[in-house]
Structure 1
Amino acid sequence: MAAKPAQSKEAARLRLYLLSIMLDMLVLGLAFALANLLVLGSLIGEPGKPHGLVMAAMIVPVYVLIAVHGGVYGIRMIGNRRASAAKAVWSLAQAVMLTLFIIYLGKIAEQLSRLTFMVGLALSAGGLIAVRPLIDRLAIWLVGAVPHITVLLVDGVEIETPREAWRVDAQAIGFDPTARDAKMAERLADGVGGAERVVVACPAERIADWRIALTSLSAKGEILVPEMRQFVPAKVSAFADHPTLVVAGGPLLFRDRLLKRLFDLAICVPAILALSPILIFGALAVKLSGPGPMFFRQQRLGRDARPFMILKFRTMHMALSDLKADKLTEKDDPRVTRIGAFLRRTSIDELPQLFNVLKGDMSIVGPRPHAPAAKAAQSLYWEVDERYWARHCIKPGMTGLAQVRGHRGPTDRHEDLINRLQSDLEYVTNWSIWRDLRIIVATLRVLAHDNAF
């Protein structure tokens, strides 16, 4: 009988990340406070000289940013204290150099106690090294002895299951890789739970189908190929001494997902506050335009092709609303109300999706979420191009690369979808926080668009 896959440990890893950062911040603060005591003989400080804690306050934010970017808190550092300590000390050195540069430009060097500063740095470096074993213990407590959650997905072959993996039978979860639709994609995501690595053992003739199926997951997807054992240099990965083909990359590391989530919140929360008058105006306008709710909720495909309910201002007459998106909106669509046409033309109807971002279903930037029944010409989206599922390996966005390039509006032809898909896959492959910033800026120029109807 198939074992139940491990639940997602992303929340536990987030807690580990935050606790590790807080421990390092505490170490730096205590180090400089102790330096103040050792050098000046008092915790109060010297008149006219910044306290050691002031020095720590200048260094800590810079250190945290550099440490996160440098992988000090990465899951790979668990159990690797030497590498973790080396990265932490190197991040501290970079933070100190940058802080000294800022101090020099601010012309405040003369106000600092140099000896307190140097003793604080020495104690900080020692403290960062000393706290690594504690972080390891926290990791085992929060994440478990095996931080990388691996699922072995078996499809019609005999294979032993190593201790570090959860075994899931494809038939037991009702998944068929040849049935490429939204329900099957959701079933696959549910079946592997919160796995970060999914290894498929299947007959050779089903490898091509599994290659496509795995691309919809945010996890790293691999396929066992025992025949590759004779070509040892050619294997790209391994699972319990078996060669595997990596067919899905899981594009964002945990560190990247954390950074992207923090970025989303940093944009989303101020945007909701700043745009609250427009949100209130939109809600009132829809309410006065006719009977029906202010908001339109519709099922869309999110990360891992899991469904979620997207939130928009209602722009259609209630009796004519298309909850399944069987028919996409067209120019001069009689279903759209007069106020709805204005909201669509100015993209105000999309603003409630800020709450989807706040909830975590969406991101500010990413591939736009599609309804399961959406079609290009007369074909469902995934029937047009087998690469379609790969766009679901990250969260969908309020805006994306395709939108700023002008690929909006109806998908009357297969080419309309393919153009968007090309941009989505380019974004997924080459994601960076700086690209997200550029797309947000570019979005401001295309809020009002001829194809927004």
Structure 2
Amino acid sequence: MTTQTVRVVIYFAQMGFDLLAILLGFIVAGMIRHGAIRVGLDTTALLTLLPVFLVISIYADAYSHGGVASRIGIQRVLTSLALALAFNILAAFAIKEATNLSRMFLFLGAAVAGVLLIVERLAMVRFIRVHLDTRFMRRVLVIDGEPIVAPAGFHVIDVADHGVTPDPDDPHALHKISSLLFGADRVLVSSAPERRGNWSLYLKGIGCNGELLLPELHAIGQLDASDGTSLVGVPVSTGPLDIRSRLLKRSFDLSITVPAIIALAPVLLIVAIAIKLTSPGPVLFKQPRMGRGNRLFHVYKFRSMRTETTDNAGARSASMDDDRITSVGRIIRRTSLDELPQLFNVLEGDMSLVGPRPHALGSLAGDELFWHVDKRYWLRHAIKPGITGLAQVRGFRGATDHRDDLMQRLLSDLEYVADWSLMKDITILVRTLTVVVHKKAY
């Protein structure tokens, strides 16, 4: 179980404890005020308060690393309770029920709930520090030619032991390093000066909180070391999506993907049969492509070319009169039906419905590899690749015969990564429906 999975479990547990504390607080208030909770106004007020509190506390960042593992979360959750209570009172005035509400019940319940929230939050902070520690937050110190004493709580990886270094011209080396750092929440890199630029580029591309350690700054120190260490690092990257955003995006993906696979099952079956009957070879084409965090995965597509002419590296883009494409392949490529198996990539978690399109390792813009055109190419992998994306709905798809064909896509991808929102995903999905059939699909 990764540290991110552990944190998600803790966040939901904390959410449950918070709601239970508020519920118990108002039950106690009801017992003191009326001898029992009154069915009617009391229960209605409580049932209104709980969801309002939950929404406010989520937006107040009460369920994040800082909101759960430190005492600052107590301030956030108490503020959320106060705002939820104020909303309830305002709503009661608006519907002219304020005179029927017991002020003692409301304020006594909030006071008792506040005390219970403080107690259970302090207990959770202690539990995380004593029993979870590194399982709640994975910190990694990477050594690349500049040995340094590792602080407590850090896992040390010396890349020399694995024979790799972050070479932006070697996707397989980046994949290997990303596999070593998989699940890391904070990465400190102690590197030789000449390799710091590559590490900075790499850390931005894997979407983690990354810092480069500069020995020349250690004598200066820092104002406040949040992790209790004396290491001085220069932050060079942060994850584009926090856990809350990733959960939201993942939930959105699954809520559409699962029903879509069920609804499209007959179409998937018909296409599979047509491919099998008209061309020897497998129904699916699987190709290694670069995914989130610069880690390789296999993308699924319906096979649209003859097996013996399949280009697994993707060095040759499909063209209008491409003799490799089968008769069925031409139809499914024109209608984008060949992309449907990527719904299973989304189900497995390697892809998202919306994101930068994953490219084959041998993809060329003109006569140059994609990452040779612009080193920022690796930054687009800070987020999961998608079946569709901002570049695609803007019309930047098809063959990349020139450098500019890639740059238009890259700039759109970087814009998407830097400014993600659920509403943007919804908008892109809706716009995708209008470009499923397009003139650049060969």
Query: What TM-score do you get using the length of structure 2 for normalisation?
Result: 0.87
* Deviation of the 1:228 alpha carbon: 4.0
* Deviation of the 1:57 alpha carbon: 3.5
1:184-224 Cα offsets, whole Å, 9 max, x none, are: 11111122242222222222222223223333322222222
SS in 2 for 1:245: strand
Give the counterpart of 2:58 among 54, 68, 71: 68
Q: Partners in 2 of 1:72 and 1:95 — Cα distance?
A: 14
Give the counterpart of 2:338 among 318, 327, 349: 349
Q: Partners in 1 of 2:256 and 2:31 — Cα distance?
A: 41
Give the counterpart of 1:20 among 14, 19, 24: 14
Q: Quickly say closer, same or farther: Cα 1:141–1:294, change in 2 above 3 A.
A: farther
Q: Partners in 1 of 2:297 and 2:435 — Cα distance?
A: 26
Correspondence list, 1:72-91, <5 A: 72-81=62-71, 83-91=72-80
Give the counterpart of 1:208 among 184, 197, 214: 197
Give the counterpart of 1:416 among 382, 395, 405: 405
Residue 4 of structure 2 corresponds to residue 10 of structure 1: yes
SS in 1 for 2:165: coil
Q: Partners in 1 of 2:409 and 2:228 — Cα distance?
A: 35
Say if 2:221 and 2:230, in contact at 8 Å, map to a contact too: no
Partner residue of 1:219? Answer: 208
1:281-312 Cα offsets, whole Å, 9 max, x none, are: 44444445444443332222111111112222
Q: Quickly say closer, same or farther: Cα 1:164–1:42, change in 2 above 3 A.
A: closer
SS in 2 for 1:410: coil
* Deviation of the 1:383 alpha carbon: 1.9
Q: Is there any run of 5+ residues in structure 1 with no aligned partner, and where?
A: 1-6
Between the aligned residues of both structures, percent identity stands at 37
* Deviation of the 1:78 alpha carbon: 4.3
The code of the aligned residue for 1:311 comes to Y
The code of the aligned residue for 2:64 comes to G
Say if 1:237 and 1:244, in contact at 8 Å, map to a contact too: no
Q: Partners in 2 of 1:281 and 1:92 — Cα distance?
A: 55
Correspondence list, 1:93-242, <5 A: 93-98=82-87, 107=95, 109=97, 113-115=101-103, 116-140=105-129, 143-144=132-133, 147-178=136-167, 180-228=169-217, 240-242=229-231
SS in 2 for 1:299: strand
Say if 1:238 and 1:244, in contact at 8 Å, map to a contact too: no
SS in 1 for 2:147: coil
Partner residue of 2:47? Answer: 57
Partner residue of 1:3? Answer: none
SS in 2 for 1:439: helix
Say if 1:196 and 1:218, in contact at 8 Å, map to a contact too: no
The code of the aligned residue for 2:230 comes to D
Q: Quickly say closer, same or farther: Cα 1:130–1:158, change in 2 above 3 A.
A: closer
1:5-50 Cα offsets, whole Å, 9 max, x none, are: xx8411111111111112222223334444444444346x44xx25
Partner residue of 2:300? Answer: 311
* Deviation of the 1:177 alpha carbon: 2.9
Q: Partners in 1 of 2:206 and 2:70 — Cα distance?
A: 29
* Deviation of the 1:230 alpha carbon: 7.4
* Deviation of the 1:442 alpha carbon: 2.4
1:59-112 Cα offsets, whole Å, 9 max, x none, are: 33333232222210211234532x21221122233334555666677x584797
Say if 2:144 and 2:165, in contact at 8 Å, map to a contact too: no
The code of the aligned residue for 1:11 comes to T
* Deviation of the 1:129 alpha carbon: 2.3
Query: What TM-score do you get using the length of structure 1 for normalisation?
Result: 0.85
Aligned length: 441
Partner residue of 2:388? Answer: 399
* Deviation of the 1:158 alpha carbon: 3.3
Say if 1:153 and 1:199, in contact at 8 Å, map to a contact too: yes
Say if 1:16 and 1:138, in contact at 8 Å, map to a contact too: no
Q: Which moved more, 1:285-294 or 1:258-267?
A: 285-294
The Cα RMSD (Å) is: 3.2
The code of the aligned residue for 2:235 comes to V
Say if 1:9 and 1:143, in contact at 8 Å, map to a contact too: no
Q: Partners in 2 of 1:126 and 1:15 — Cα distance?
A: 24
The code of the aligned residue for 2:320 comes to K
Say if 2:21 and 2:113, in contact at 8 Å, map to a contact too: yes
SS in 2 for 1:328: coil
Q: Which moved more, 1:67-76 or 1:275-284?
A: 275-284
1:385-419 Cα offsets, whole Å, 9 max, x none, are: 11111111221112211112111111111221122
1:164-185 Cα offsets, whole Å, 9 max, x none, are: 3222212112112346211111
* Deviation of the 1:237 alpha carbon: 10
Q: Is there any run of 5+ residues in structure 2 with no aligned partner, and where?
A: none
